[in-house]
Structure 1
Amino acid sequence: MMKQVELVNGDLRFPALMAGNGEPVILLHGFPDTYENWAVQINALADAGYTAIAPALRGYSPGCQPGNGDCSLYAAVDDLMVFAAQLGGRVHLIGHDWGAVVGYLACAQSPETFCSFSALAIPPVRRIPQALLKVPEQVLLSGYMQFFQLPLAPEAWLQRGDLDGVTTLWQRWSPDWEPGLYLDNAKHTLAEPGVIPAALSWYRSLFKVWKKEHRQVRGWLGLNIATPTQILIGENDGCMSPKLLEHTLVESDFSGGVELQVLPNAGHFLHLEQPEAVNHHLIRLLNNTQCE
């Protein structure tokens, strides 16, 4: 039975969906998305004997928008570590898009906390900067990230009409797929007060390289990942080119082991497009990596 719960970090309150009994599994969503779209995975994980909990990312609900506007990756990793502690200290982790980026960093920084890690739609982030030189198409695909650095214009673009900018990104990133209710759910979350500016703050903080938190994150990027890891990529991903994998997936970067699954007939939102295939891989890794 899935229920609405709340996770807390300081004075920030993060709405979450939760179901099941067993080892805890945290699921982190991405942009422009919502924690509610993990519902199919939450039910599947609960049926497989796990406690699945999917919180909103920092900023994606009025109650978890920090007063200082800090939506940096450093802060997001801190949120995740606090959630893990609240759930008993050792957890499995599943992340999509930004959630996967947070996962790579958290597993590198705190391997003892994470029993397994499944990264959806994002190749290993450690080597993406160098890979951009070898996969020029990704520079074009990532053009939205430069656009998001501008003041005000990105907010206006995303919010025009019925959040038409959000629709455009979903269509571009998962072509030949009709998202239906999933897109409606995402729009409902993104229409809440302050959520779109907070979501854009995630991108804007990436370029604040002078901040000490940014230096800390860069240090984590250089660490090996000792958590058993799998990477799931949709072969038609229109946000992150699958060609990046040739230059980012280096087995020696993953001392706990890594495996790759490229899913046919799926784009960026692969867990929503091909839930049965994705759930099969998620549960298989969980079953092979119990938290001791």
Structure 2
Amino acid sequence: MKQVEMVNGHLRFPTLLSGDGEPVILLHGFPDTHENWAVQMKLIADAGYTCLAPALRGYAPSCQPGNGDYSLHAAVDDLLVFANQLGGRVHLIGHDWGAAVGYLACARYPDTFCTFTALAIPPLKRLPQALLKVPEQIKLSGYMQFFQLPMAPEAWLKKDDFSGIDKLWQRWSPDWEPGLYLENAKHTLREPGVLPAALGWYRHLIRLWRKEQRETQEWLGMNITVPTQVLIGEQDGCMSPRLLDHTVNHGDFPGGLRVERVSGAGHFLHLERPETVADLLIAHLKRGECLA
């Protein structure tokens, strides 16, 4: 496993690199770190792929923009720049925020991606309507509204050595001991500026007056022609697995859609069931190999 950097303008994104073959970009979520992709990267690299897991925008001091832009639009731009640096055609795997970025990028720039797998996030196009049919998700998503407030979220998360992060992991992946994975995430969030940057992703969601925000709303309504796979842990305490019953519509994915519920796993399913998830990821990669 190598430590390298991906670059977008003056922003430098710490990145894990492993393997040799078709490029696969893996995007993490919150509250997590790109370093926690290491086990999946080894398994996928052993299957014949080059894996790159960059830090998301803001998750290191070197990739915190001076203008404080943590919008999904900016994150999609980062991803497109990375893909172009890798030859313009890549596979994409995203967890949590990384999955949200992936849905948008694949909708808007389908020719860039050979395959896409979303972990822990159901299809976004029909999610607003699904919330009316899965009311428990409103409660589960309450943290998102809280994180949009000033100052209070930082104080709650950092209290007693980031005990708020402990509580989120425990709530989202119950009956699992994360050990080093959780410590890795907390180490990243302790770095200068990272916690406010990570919360900046949530705070940008309500900036509906911005042109870029309106554009991403338009992308949400597009069909996705990239062959897509959605993996959800059956014990996910962040995104209810019941959302799949109301968000999955194969007509929204002309390039094909596969959906798998992973038993014995919660929100961090790729860390909880690494071999099971890796088998599903690799099978999807092989079904959609990039053409030269």
Partner in structure 1 of residue 261 of structure 2: 262
Counterparts of 1:268 and 1:180, CA distance in 2: 15
Q: CA deviation at 1:51?
A: 0.2
Deviations 1:142-162 (A, max 9, x none): 000111111100000011111
TM normalised by structure 2 equals 0.99
Counterparts of 1:22 and 1:156, CA distance in 2: 44
Q: Judge which range, 126-135 or 183-192, deviates more.
A: 126-135
Q: CA deviation at 1:176?
A: 0.3
Alignment of 1:50-61 (within 5 A): 50-61=49-60
Kindly tell me the number of residue pairs found equivalent between the two proteins: 291
1:168 aligned onto 2:167: yes
Structure 1 unaligned regions, length at least 5: none
Partner in structure 2 of residue 279 of structure 1: 278
Counterparts of 1:50 and 1:134, CA distance in 2: 40
Deviations 1:240-277 (A, max 9, x none): 00011111111000010001010110000000000000
- Partner secondary structure for residue 33 of structure 1: coil
Alignment of 1:128-139 (within 5 A): 128-139=127-138
1:37 aligned onto 2:36: yes
Counterparts of 2:132 and 2:75, CA distance in 1: 28
- Partner secondary structure for residue 171 of structure 1: helix
1:122 aligned onto 2:121: yes
Moved over 2 A (4+): none
Deviations 1:87-146 (A, max 9, x none): 110000000000000000000000100000010000001111111111100000000011
Partner in structure 2 of residue 151 of structure 1: 150
Q: Which amino acid aligns with 2:147?
A: F
Counterparts of 1:97 and 1:24, CA distance in 2: 21
Counterparts of 1:65 and 1:158, CA distance in 2: 20
Q: Which amino acid aligns with 2:280?
A: H
Q: Which amino acid aligns with 1:44?
A: L
TM normalised by structure 1 equals 0.99
Q: Which amino acid aligns with 1:249?
A: V
Q: Judge which range, 125-134 or 167-176, deviates more.
A: 125-134
Counterparts of 1:76 and 1:126, CA distance in 2: 18
Partner in structure 2 of residue 25 of structure 1: 24
- Partner secondary structure for residue 88 of structure 2: coil
Alignment of 1:1-150 (within 5 A): 2-150=1-149
Q: Which amino acid aligns with 2:49?
A: Y
Q: CA deviation at 1:81?
A: 0.2
Counterparts of 2:180 and 2:138, CA distance in 1: 31
1:233 aligned onto 2:223: no
Counterparts of 1:210 and 1:252, CA distance in 2: 31
